Structure 1
């Protein structure tokens, strides 16, 4: 079962030191260990840390990239916040 992660928790992991979480299509990915390997450079990952990076991701990547790295980097799904 996939771990549910809140948007607040993603936001709290906005730097490499804190884990660098990003969101892609409601999936939460931990990128801290990948920043030095990222072909586009560490700067872009650091810029989207703690945020939804779906728009930026799909602008430069195809589905094959997501499938390749998903098993290694995906840590959970974005939890829907309760609506009052």
Structure 2
């Protein structure tokens, strides 16, 4: 079974590269699973992951930013928005 670099229980920052179309993207909603490439619709494991850091102790995440739940492996797994956890 393939595993992501990060195997913890919290979300982290992930970097992805689609092996089919070479599309690259980053996500602050990266978990120990895959995300789906918007172009190819194939599951892609992150090639890098690191903990989320809160600059100056503040969470700068924009929770109003659109999150493509239909592409997120974690959202699919739990059946709802992964940012709630």
TM-score by length of 1: 0.30
Q: Larger strand proportion, structure 1 or 2? A: 2
Q: Which has the higher helix share?
A: 1
Q: Which has the higher contact order (CA 8 A, sep 6+)?
A: 1
